Amino acid sequence: MGRLTRDQIIAAGLAKAGHDNTITSTAATAFQAMLDDIYASFAWPFLRKRAAVTMAAGQGAFDIGNGSGAPAAVTEWVKSIMAIKVADTVSDSFAADLPLTDADGLSPNDEPAWHTSTGTPQKMLREPKFGDPWKWTLTPVPAPEKAYRLLVEMHAIPAALSSGSAIPAYPFDDTLIEAVCAWAAFYNDDPRSVASDGKVAALLRADRVKLAPTKRMGLDTQRFTRGG
């Protein structure tokens, strides 16, 4: 996360836009909406969450995300399910990946088998929960014949900031300040809003590069040799 609180970011953004008189409560509501949009716009590494789930024998479909209950108790909004690892028994370490499939990747012959047989799960059907964009329904195919442990990796959206003294999870304060500046310009019909929007987009692109996984740079031994 960054260093500035919500109120500090909003105050800096409004001052930068020259619109300090904008209603603070309105700005706070808009700021939370901006944060949620930024969090959902990209698979940010700092929003990758893992949840351990124990599937009982015969486990059917279960929900995960946005306050879901057992067996997958996850309070945060879930933007996407990224990967699932499975343990052979309730005591083994997570080793094998359980392939994910969407509804369009299933054969018409698959579904009857879910209800008539059990066995070692071969894949996990991943479907958005109807009526809830932040919750997913997972269905093991086939239903497990015994208990298994899962490690579900997901793109989770942090809970709304509880107060003005809370610090957003987003790590770059300058981007958030510029986003508030752009919102204030738009809110006040300031013609500079288009330029501000462009700067926010550029900062977000730069932030993605900053947070991209880095690879260790190796030296070409044919070009760089000791004493050469």
Q: Is residue 150 part of a domain?
A: yes
- Rounded Cα distance, 192 and 72, in Å: 46
**Domain check: are 179 and 83 in the same one?**
no
* pTM, full prediction: 0.82
Q: Token pair for residue 166?
A: 């809370």
Query: Given the DSSP bridges, would you call strands 123-128 and 100-101 parallel, antiparallel or unpaired?
Result: parallel
pLDDT in tens, 8-24: 999 999 999 887 777 77
Q: Which pLDDT band, with edges at 50, 70 and 90, does 225 fall under?
A: very low
User: Are residues 50 and 138 located together in one domain of the fold?
Assistant: yes
Same domain, 108 and 50: yes
Number of domains in the chain: 2
More confident: 158 or 222: 158
Find the domain containing 203 and state its range.
6-41+172-211
Chain segment 196-208, per-residue pLDDT in tens: 888 999 999 999 9
The mean pLDDT of 31-36, rounded to a whole number, is 96
Peptide bond into 71 cis (omega under 30): yes
DSSP state of 164: T
Which residue do the tokens 């919750």 mark?
135
28 and 56 both lie in a single domain: no
Euclidean distance between CA atoms 59 and 49, whole angstroms: 23
Question: In Å, what is the CA distance from 190 to each residue of 17, 130, 179?
Answer: 9, 40, 14
Smallest Cα–Cα separation from 141: which of 84, 99, 87, 92? 99
Report pLDDT digits (tens) over 71-102.
999 999 999 999 999 987 766 777 789 999 88
Q: Both 198 and 140 in a single domain? A: no
Which segment of 34-38, 81-85, 187-191 scores lowest on mean pLDDT? Answer: 187-191
**CA 106: distance to chain centroid?**
26
> Quick check: 34 pLDDT over 80?
yes
pLDDT of residue 219: 45
